[in-house]
Structure 1
Amino acid sequence: MANGFYDFSGQLESLKQQGLYRSRRIVDGPQGILLQVDDRSVVNFCSNDYLGLANHPDVVTAFRKAADRYGVGSGSAHLICGHSSAHHGLEEELAAFTGRERALLFSTGYMANLGVISALLGRNDTVLEDRLNHASLLDGGLLSRARFQRYRHGDNVDLAQRLAECTEKALIVSDGVFSMDGDLADVPALAALAKSHQAGLLIDDAHGFGVLGNSGGGIVEHYGLSQNDVPMLLGTLGKAFGTFGAFVVGSSDLIEYLIQKARSYVFTTALPAAVAEATRASLRLLQGETWRREMLQALVARFRHGAEQLELQLMDSFTAIQPIIVGDSQRALDTSAALLEQGFWVSAIRPPTVPAGTARLRVTLSAAHEPHHVDALLEALLKVMK
């Protein structure tokens, strides 16, 4: 008799009927604006490679040279024999870049959020999270076993009321740039609330680093905030940096505490040293080539102007993330497929990633795009959506 535990056919069919089934596509060749996807040439509008550094020659060369020096695998966790001079150098440079005392590398952004939040909180504490936070932040809050509360998106009044009810240690957690809407958290207000209520504050600036601020310092540079305002700042390396991994920056004591207590740091193999060296190269480019941010902002403005002329339903975002609200999940899938037929890869984002009824096309722009790429996408959107 077959074991019914492993019968997933009904659940899979239900996902398909609701337009919520997820499928992978196969990419051949390096990341870039022009991709080979399932043997089809497409213009890529769904990558988080915001500055076009994932295949930059300097980054690739740094990776190759480091692989010759360090090999491929790190061999073990940072606390055993996996912490190389490449890792250490990158941590020091990230601390200097962000104006913080120290930095700590994690193997992924998901693991960073799980590790940091669960290290800081326990059963009698409270974690307060924006309702639209990334899944890794939400899961980190749940894993901590603290009292878990979600406040209304961007609603500082709701957050303040919840903070006033906390009797033990509390931690406010928010994305800096929200990954599916592209809007910004009101970080100055969050910092003020944290100070007035003696609460902790953790900002995940995965989609802000490299993109916001004159030197790419992210949302804290955009708002002119210091380590005193935002004591814990987290970023990922797989987006604007164009590589892989994540980091958290803050005071020396915070980083030392996380080294001792963050389980996803202590018990995980370090990312390859060659990736760390590649990231050091991308960090130099991110800081020095300010034209990339200028180009990106010009392309965002060009896209928004064209989309508004087409009367597409945009969201309040001036970042590289430009969602077009479609509403119905199946319609979002069908529109994405139609765009692919036109040679443009734009992801359909559906529940549970976004709230029910807000399925969307998530257009992401890169400094590597050219104006004619944006214009051609707008023409294709006119065809498939009108």
Structure 2
Amino acid sequence: MSSNTLEAFLSPQLAELKEKGLYNEINSLQGSNEATIKIAGKNFINLSSNNYLGFATEPRLKKAAIDATEKYGVGAGAVRTINGTMDIHDELEKAIAKFKHTEAAIAFQSGFNCNMGAISAVMSKKDAILSDELNHASIIDGCRLSGAKIIRVKHQDMDDLREKAKEATTSGQYEKVMYIADGVFSMDGDVANIPEIVKIAEEFGLITYIDDAHGSGVMGAGAGTVKHFGLSDKIDFQIGTLSKAVGVVGGYVAGSQQLIDWLKVRARPFLFSTSLTPASAAACIEAIRIMSEEPEKIEKLWENGHYLKEGLSKLGFNIGNSETPITPCIIGDENLTQKFSARLYEEGVYAKSIVFPTVPLGTGRIRNMPTALHTKEMLDDVIAIYEKVGRELGVI
């Protein structure tokens, strides 16, 4: 049983979250995470998965994972720096570097670990980090862990970035200044202005860091947002996850050989966590191969994203300014957002509400994630249900 002190803290906090519509229930799937899912015996059209290309259940990835397990076992058995590095890990890192058009790459256990490890390995209390105000939580935590001065930059505001870059680099207070942004912002689906970021970085000598978790496998024929703009040689850190479009688990940093050599001796999650499983590494290699050779999967993802956006927009929903398949449906009020999601659930659409603190107060939304696995018929059903619930709740 918890101590009385802990209970006295937890009980009112949880009650307050529930009262304000900020408490999310966790649903357990009965089976795999695909275009349709089963929860508590009921089937749903699934619009809450990051499984963009359907690779989480792709037969060729499953076979690669099984074969690797037979050869290497279920775990690597140690951290990478002792004897947990197998040739399958080396092969994965070479595949990532080739795909991202960089000299080298390093694989981590998760995308979150990449940001916790990479930022603090390079930046310190002697430095400053310019950070887009809507950056992912893992970036924020990585910046805090580094001890560097964190300077918030208005979202996608290049004038604000230039002004703050000039101030930071000319003040004489900092040894190094880094600019960090998501490549694709996961709550709104907008894309970082990488060409302008590069210009400003070159003008003021900034280190550049792009977290492309939602861009890898989606933008730039799969190679990501930096490749989309043809600037792979201009961004110092390219960060990504192996758990979204790649469909498995893990993360990576791609960049110069010197950067990767440094991270292998200074990034703490790499040094002190057991390696990716051999099965995960093998499945990731196969995913990268398929993305490189079968562009139709990425094309189908974009086709479905455009179709859903058009359908919801015609009905009068506020879908924001997304430039990617991510399709937010912005409701506003937190309790109404939760109610909307609950009604979608009752009608057979699984689309989770996103509320504060993930997004600012008053901007609650349903975030829809169409994938390459969805059919037009499924999306038509979703649009019809959105219309029914939207009119019922007075949203449209």
Relative to the length of structure 1, the TM-score reads 0.98
2:346 counterpart (341, 347, 351): 341
> Counterpart of 1:174?
181
Given that 2:100 and 2:232 are in contact with CA atoms closer than 8 Å, whether structure 1 keeps it comes out as: no
Query: Per the alignment, in what secondary structure is the counterpart of residue 322 of structure 2?
Result: coil
Query: Per the alignment, in what secondary structure is the counterpart of residue 230 of structure 1?
Result: coil
1:152 counterpart (154, 159, 168): 154
How far apart are the structure 1 equivalents of 2:3 and 2:263? 46
Query: Per the alignment, in what secondary structure is the counterpart of residue 383 of structure 2?
Result: helix
* 1:104-123 matched pairs, under 5 angstroms: 104-123=106-125
Given that 1:119 and 1:262 are in contact with CA atoms closer than 8 Å, whether structure 2 keeps it comes out as: yes
Which letter does structure 2 place at the counterpart of 1:194?
Answer: A
> Counterpart of 2:226?
220
1:355 matched to 2:357? The reply is: no
Given that 1:130 and 1:152 are in contact with CA atoms closer than 8 Å, whether structure 2 keeps it comes out as: yes
Given that 1:236 and 1:245 are in contact with CA atoms closer than 8 Å, whether structure 2 keeps it comes out as: yes
How far off its partner does 1:38 sit? 2.5
> Counterpart of 2:70?
68
Which letter does structure 1 place at the counterpart of 2:335?
Answer: Q
How far apart are the structure 2 equivalents of 1:67 and 1:235? 24
Given that 1:171 and 1:201 are in contact with CA atoms closer than 8 Å, whether structure 2 keeps it comes out as: yes
| Deviations 1:254-294, CA, capped at 9 Å, x for gaps | 00011111111111111101100011111111111111121
1:87 counterpart (89, 95, 99): 89
> Counterpart of 2:312?
307
1:204 matched to 2:211? The reply is: yes
How far off its partner does 1:330 sit? 1.0
Structure 1 gaps of 5+ residues are none
1:368 counterpart (373, 381, 395): 373
Query: Which moved further from structure 2: 198-207 or 290-299?
Result: 290-299
> Counterpart of 2:14?
12
How far apart are the structure 1 equivalents of 2:94 and 2:382? 41
How far apart are the structure 2 equivalents of 1:110 and 1:3? 33
* 1:254-269 matched pairs, under 5 angstroms: 254-269=259-274
4+ aligned runs moved over 3 Å, structure 1: none
* 1:281-292 matched pairs, under 5 angstroms: 281-292=286-297
Given that 1:325 and 1:359 are in contact with CA atoms closer than 8 Å, whether structure 2 keeps it comes out as: yes
Aligned length: 384
How far off its partner does 1:322 sit? 0.5
> Counterpart of 1:191?
198
* 1:51-62 matched pairs, under 5 angstroms: 51-62=53-64
Which letter does structure 1 place at the counterpart of 2:121?
Answer: A
Query: Which moved further from structure 2: 216-225 or 248-257?
Result: 216-225
How far off its partner does 1:103 sit? 0.5
Given that 1:300 and 1:318 are in contact with CA atoms closer than 8 Å, whether structure 2 keeps it comes out as: no
How far off its partner does 1:165 sit? 1.6
| Deviations 1:198-256, CA, capped at 9 Å, x for gaps | 11000000001111123x111012111132x1121011000000111000011100000
Which letter does structure 1 place at the counterpart of 2:34?
Answer: G
Which letter does structure 1 place at the counterpart of 2:179?
Answer: I
| Deviations 1:319-358, CA, capped at 9 Å, x for gaps | 1210000001111111111111111100100000001110
How far apart are the structure 1 equivalents of 2:347 and 2:154? 38
> Counterpart of 1:279?
284
Query: Per the alignment, in what secondary structure is the counterpart of residue 66 of structure 1?
Result: helix
Given that 1:243 and 1:275 are in contact with CA atoms closer than 8 Å, whether structure 2 keeps it comes out as: yes
| Deviations 1:151-201, CA, capped at 9 Å, x for gaps | 110011111111112132101000000011100010111111111111100
* 1:293-332 matched pairs, under 5 angstroms: 293-332=298-337
Q: RMSD over aligned Cα, in angstroms?
A: 1.2
How far off its partner does 1:6 sit? 3.3
How far apart are the structure 1 equivalents of 2:216 and 2:345? 29
Given that 1:299 and 1:371 are in contact with CA atoms closer than 8 Å, whether structure 2 keeps it comes out as: yes
1:380 matched to 2:381? The reply is: no
| Deviations 1:294-334, CA, capped at 9 Å, x for gaps | 11111112111111110000111131210000001111111
* 1:226-245 matched pairs, under 5 angstroms: 226-227=232-233, 229-245=234-250
Which letter does structure 1 place at the counterpart of 2:257?
Answer: S
Given that 1:326 and 1:360 are in contact with CA atoms closer than 8 Å, whether structure 2 keeps it comes out as: yes
Structure 2 gaps of 5+ residues are 392-396
How far apart are the structure 2 equivalents of 1:194 and 1:64? 44
